[in-house]
Amino acid sequence: MNHLRFNIISKGLLNLVILFFFAGLNSIEAQEKRTEFIIHTSMGDMKGELFNETPMHRDNFIKLAKEGWFEDSFFHRVINNFMIQGGHNADGREDAGYTVPAEFVPEIYVHHKGMLAAARERDKVNPTKASSAAQFYIVQGKILSLGQVKSIEEKINTERKQLAIKNYIIFPSNEKWFFKMDALMKAKDMEGVKLMENNIYNEMIERGEAPTEFHYTEKQIEIYTTIGGTPHLDGSYSVYGRITDGWEVLDKIAATPVLGSSPIEKVLMKIEILD
């Protein structure tokens, strides 16, 4: 089981594996009824559900689907062993003209295979990581080693720590740190910056203002190391649903011939919300 790969097992066994893993996840998640959907594509159907813990993304996806935004649109960006992306309107518009505030719930939902998440503009022009209203992707990813998963976990905690320090030193009562850090940055004393960050963080810990460390659950690690995903996106892009049936269609679309990352033959879709 630890070396399970989907390209060498039958569809029947694949479905059993999916049910086994996600039954475990469901036992720790909210049991409130979830909205289900079907993505009908020219390569087959994928059925899924939207998470109640990300209500803004859930409601926006339902709204656009019911308005017919995705009707006869297509997956315009496909990268095998990574993800498939859609969201264009059939008339050519790339987005709906607004964004959705980020909703990160990494303690429950991360970028496992089959997860539905929102694309967005890069950090430099979008520091709050707000999501595109219409652009979405479905994770395919790949199987990772335990060391790779732990490395991503460390990266997430480093980014959380640095952001917390930046926010901490801008408060008026902590301005002494701000001026000291500014002087070190101007002097390009990076060793001094690292030492200063440690001192600031130690003070934050003493005051109880340090962020809680993030750690993947045993179940999340198990899925990343047996089924796969794209953990390097965790905490940066909002995950708001998942595919529950039709993973073979996901793999089929991901393997379609491309020019760059654009499918040579369009994979058309329409999205149906199951009320």
pLDDT digit string (tens) for 188-217?
999 999 999 999 999 999 999 999 999 999
CB 45 within 8 A of CB 246: yes
At residue 31, the pLDDT reads 57
Tell me, yes or no, whether 123 and 187 share the same domain. no
- Within a domain: 46: yes
E strand or H helix at 39 = strand 36-41
Q: What do you get for the CA distance between the two ends of the chain, in Å?
A: 36
pLDDT digit string (tens) for 217-262?
999 999 999 999 999 999 899 999 999 999 999 999 999 999 999 9
At residue 28, the pLDDT reads 42
User: Is residue 35 over pLDDT 70?
Assistant: yes
User: Is residue 23 over pLDDT 70?
Assistant: no
Using alpha carbons only, what angle is made at residue 99 by residues 93 and 105, rounded to the nearest 5 degrees?
125
Q: Residue 187 sits in which domain range?
A: 159-206
Average pLDDT value for the chain: 89
pLDDT digit string (tens) for 56-109?
999 999 999 999 999 999 999 999 999 999 999 988 888 899 999 999 998 889
pLDDT digit string (tens) for 114-142?
999 999 999 999 999 999 999 999 999 99
Instruction: Report the distance separating Cα 134 and Cα 89, nearest Å.
Output: 8
Which CATH number goes with the domain that contains 236? Answer: 2.40.100.10
DSSP symbol at 9: S
Tell me, yes or no, whether 190 and 58 share the same domain. no
At residue 93, the pLDDT reads 87
CB 69 within 8 A of CB 261: no
Tell me, yes or no, whether 139 and 90 share the same domain. yes
Summarize the confidence of residues 175-199 as an average pLDDT: 94
